[in-house]
Amino acid sequence: METGKQLRVRETPIPGFLVIDLPVHGDNRGWFKENWQREKALALGLPDFGPVQNNISFNAQPGVTRGIHAEPWDKYISVASGRVFGAWVDLREGDSFGATFTIEIDPSVAVFVPRGVGNAFQALEPNTAYSYLVNAHWSHDAQGEYTFLNLADETAGIDWPIPLEQAELSEKDKAHPRLADVTPMPPRKTLVLGANGQLGRALQQQWAGRADVEFVGRDRVDLADPAALEQIRWSSYDTIVNAAGYTAVDAAETDQGRRDAWAVNAMGPARLASIAAEHALTLVHVSSDYVYADQEDERDEQDPLGPLGVYAQTKAAGDLAVTAAPKHYIVRTSWVVGDGKNFVATMASLARRGATPQVVDDQIGRLTFAPELARAIDHLLATGAPHGTYNVSSGGHAASWAQIAKRVFSLMGADAEGVKPVTTDDYDASRSGVAPRPRHSAMRLAKLEATGFAPRDQFELLEEFVAMLPAA
Flag whether pLDDT at 422 surpasses 90.
Answer: yes
For residue 90, what pLDDT is reported?
97
For residue 470, what pLDDT is reported?
79
Q: Which of 25, 76, 130, 132 is catalytic?
A: 132
pTM: 0.86
For residue 149, what pLDDT is reported?
96
Please give the average per-residue pLDDT across 265-269, as a whole number: 96
Q: Who contacts 145 (Cβ-Cβ below 8 Å, separation ≥6)?
A: 71, 72, 185, 235, 236
* Each residue's pLDDT tens digit, 347-363: 999 999 999 999 999 99
Alpha carbon distance 6, 22 (integer Å)? 7
Flag whether pLDDT at 472 surpasses 70.
Answer: no
Flag whether pLDDT at 226 surpasses 70.
Answer: yes
For residue 53, what pLDDT is reported?
92
Please give the average per-residue pLDDT across 146-173, as a whole number: 95
For residue 340, what pLDDT is reported?
85
Please give the average per-residue pLDDT across 247-254, as a whole number: 93
Residue, of 146 and 361, whose pLDDT is higher: 361
Asked if residue 129 lies in contact with residue 41, where contact means CB atoms within 8 angstroms, the answer is no
pLDDT band at 435 (very low <50, low <70, confident <90, very high): confident
Flag whether pLDDT at 3 surpasses 90.
Answer: no
pLDDT band at 231 (very low <50, low <70, confident <90, very high): confident
Using only the alpha carbons of the chain, give its radius of gyration: 28
- Give the side-chain half-sphere CA count within 13 A for 92: 21
Within 109-225, residue ranges assigned H as helices are 171-174, 198-206
Report the DSSP pairing between strands 18-21 and 8-11. Answer: antiparallel
Flag whether pLDDT at 17 surpasses 70.
Answer: yes
* Each residue's pLDDT tens digit, 182-218: 999 999 999 999 999 999 999 999 999 899 999 999 8
For residue 140, what pLDDT is reported?
65
Please give the average per-residue pLDDT across 49-71, as a whole number: 93
For residue 91, what pLDDT is reported?
97
pLDDT band at 294 (very low <50, low <70, confident <90, very high): confident
- % of the chain with per-residue pLDDT over 70: 98
The single-letter code of the amino acid at 113 is V
Domains of the chain in sequence order: 8-181 (2.60.120.10), 189-467 (3.40.50.720)
Question: Could you tell me the CA-to-CA distances from 230 to 47, 145, 266, 287 in Å, in that order?
Answer: 27, 19, 17, 23
Catalytic-residue membership of 69:
yes
Q: Which of 69, 176, 328, 440 is catalytic?
A: 69
